[in-house]
Amino acid sequence: MKKSRLTLATVLFLATALLIGATGSGYFEISKNLDIFITLYKKVDELYVDELDHSRIMRKGIDAMLAELDPYTVYYSESEVEDFNFQRTGTYAGIGTRIMKFGDDLVVTEVYEDAPALEAGLQIGDILLAIDGKSVLGKSVSDMSEILKGEENTVANLRIKRNGAEMDLPIKRAEVKIDNVSYFGMVTEDIGYVKFENFRMDAALEVKEKMEELKDRGMKKFILDMRGNPGGLLKEAVDIVNLFVDANHLVVSTKGKNPDHSRDYNTYKKVYDDEIPLVVLIDGGSASASEIVSGSIQDYDRGVVIGRNSYGKGLVQITQPLSYNAQLKVTTSKYYTASGRCIQRLDYALRDEDGNVPEVPDSLIKEFKTKNGRPVFDGEGISPDLEVAKTSTTPYTRALTNEHLVFYFAHNYLKNHSEIASPNKFVVDDNLLNEFKQYVQTQSFNYKTKTEKKLDHLMENLEAGADSMQVLAKFNELTAFLNELKANDFTNDSEKIREMLRLEIVAQRYFRKGRAQAALTNDNDVARAVEVLNNPTEYHRILMPQ
C-alpha cells in the first residue's frame, strides 16, 4: 500500500503544480476540473476494495482524453519512445522482421533484407514459440515488437516451429534501417521510377540520390510514387518539393492558435531539376507530407498528379518532452498549400454526441487556383489531375487473403522452388493457378458474402408461425442458389488470384524490393503515367489549360 500512496503522491504533486501555475480567466475550467479529478482519485484510492494499478488507470485516462481530440495527438511512455523515434529516423535496434498473428500463432511474414534475422536463418513462415525461455502464447503483435527490440549486440534467443519441428535460434540484435525509398528503376528506356514510402530523416536526399542514379541510366522523365505514403517530417516534404521547384517559393503555411506555430515554409536551395517531365502518383493512403508534396507540385503546375484522392490530413504535429522521459505528439496547427487550400477532410471540432467526425460539407468547400489558373479545392484531400479507377477486390479474394491461403501456398511453393525467375519475369501460369485451386479445395475454405450474412440474420430472427416452414424452404432455395454462384468464384476471379499469387511468391523470394518491381508490370497507375509522359501534348494540355 505504501508504494501505491507514493505513486498517487506524485500524481497529486504534478496536478497541484498545474493548479498553482494556472492563471487568468481562461484557466478557471482547468483549475476546477483538476481539483475535482484530484479529489475523486484520492477518494477512489482510499476507499476502493482492491489495490489500484495506477500506471494502467492513468494510461487509460490519458489515452481516452487524447482520443477526444484527434487520432494524431498521442502520448508515448518512456518504453514507447523508441517506437516514436523510429517514426522519425527509420532506424531501430532489433532483428528485422515483420510478424502477424494467424489465429493463436505468431508467424514471421517478412524478413528484412540484410537484417540480423535473415543472417541468422529465420525464415518466412516460422512460428514463434518463446523468446529467452518465455512463452509468447497470448502475446500480441505489438507485444512481440517491443520484446524483439533491444540494445544492439544483445541476443534474442528464439524458439520457433518450422515444418512441424521445434528449434532454437539465437539472433544478435543490431541496427535495422528501413529506407524511405523501397525501390527504384527504369520502367521504359527513358522513364525513371521511385517508390517513395516514408518522410523520415534524409528522405529528400534518398530521392535525389536515386534520381541521379536513374539519370546515369538514361532517365529523361520521372515518376514519383507516393501511393500509401503516410507522411512524416515536414522539413523533408519541403526538401522534396525543392528538388523540382526553385528557391524562395512557398511550399506550405501552418496556422494555429499559438502564433509560434503559424509560419511559412519556403524552398530555400537551388532547385535540383525544374525541367524534367514529372508525374506524381497518389491514392487514399497518401497523407500529410505526401499531400504537401503532391499539392505543391499541383499548385505550381510542376507535374501531373495521377491516381485517386488522397487521405485528407491537413494537421501538423510537434513533439514535446514530458517528465519521466515520456513524449507528447500534439496537433498544433493546420497547414495550407501554396494556393491557400487546407486539404483536411474531417473536422474533429464538430464531433457529434456519438463520437462521429463529419467531413467538410460540400457547401463549405472552396475553389482555389494553381499558378496557371487551374481550379483546385480544399477540404477533400488532393484530387488528382487524372483519376485512375482503383483495382477492386472481391469478397472471395479478400477471404483468401484473410485466411492466409495465398501466403501459405507461396511459402510451400518456394520450399520446392528455391530458384524462380526475376521479379519482372516471374509468371503464374495455368498449371500453377490450378495447383492453387486444388490447394484451396483441401483447406476446408469457406466464406460468406454480405448477402449470405444478411440472410443468416433474417434466419436468426425468423418468428415461429404457420408459414415459417414455407419461408424456411425459400431461404434454403436461395442459399442453394448462392452456393451455385459461389462455385464459380475462383474462375471469375482467376486473373486477380493470379496476380495475388505472383506478388506474394515474388515478395517471399525477393523481399519488398522485388514485390515493388513485380507490381510495376501490371500497374494501371504507372501505365497511365507512362502514357502521359510519352505524350508531351497531353502533358502540357493538363498543366496549361486553354
The pLDDT of residue 462 = 66
Angle between helices 405-416 and 395-402 (to 10 degrees): 60
The grid cell for 367 is: 475553389
Q: What is the residue-averaged pLDDT of the chain?
A: 90
Given a cut of 90, whether residue 87 has pLDDT beyond it is: no
Q: Which of 69-73, 82-86, 183-187 has the lowest mean pLDDT?
A: 82-86
**Residue 1 confidence class, pLDDT cut points 50, 70, 90:** very low
**Residue ranges of domains in the chain:** 2-76, 91-177, 181-324+331-390, 395-527
Q: For a pLDDT cut of 70, what percent of the chain falls above it? A: 94
Q: Which of 68-72, 81-85, 401-405, 422-426 has the lowest mean pLDDT?
A: 81-85
Distance CA 379, CA 401 (A): 34
Distance CA 113, CA 119 (A): 9
CA proximity to 267, closest of 231, 299, 235 = 235
- Exposed e or buried b per residue across 50-60, where buried means at least 16 C-beta atoms within 10 angstroms of its C-beta: eeeebeeeeee
Distance CA 311, CA 228 (A): 9
The pLDDT of residue 2 = 41
Given a cut of 70, whether residue 170 has pLDDT beyond it is: yes
CATH class of 91-177: mainly beta
- Name the pairing type of β-strands 304-307 and 386-387: parallel
- Beta bridge partners, 135, equal 130
- Exposed e or buried b per residue across 73-107, where buried means at least 16 C-beta atoms within 10 angstroms of its C-beta: bbbbeeeeeeebebeeebebbbbbbebeeeeeebb
**Residue 381 confidence class, pLDDT cut points 50, 70, 90:** very high
- Quote the Cα angle for 455-458-462, to 5°: 135
The grid cell for 380 is: 477533400
The burial class, CB within 10 Å (0-12 / 13-18 / 19+), for 252 is: buried
Q: For a pLDDT cut of 90, what percent of the chain falls above it? A: 73
For residue 352, count other CB atoms closer than 10 A to its CB: 8
Q: What is the pLDDT of residues 440-457, one digit of tens each?
A: 989 887 777 777 777 777
Q: Higher confidence at residue 343 or residue 352?
A: 343
Given a cut of 60, whether residue 284 has pLDDT beyond it is: yes
The pLDDT of residue 524 = 96
- The CATH number of domain 181-324+331-390 is 3.30.460.80: no
Which phi and psi angles does 519 have, rounded to 5°? -65, -25
Given a cut of 70, whether residue 479 has pLDDT beyond it is: yes
The pLDDT of residue 32 = 87
The pLDDT of residue 474 = 74
Given a cut of 80, whether residue 378 has pLDDT beyond it is: yes
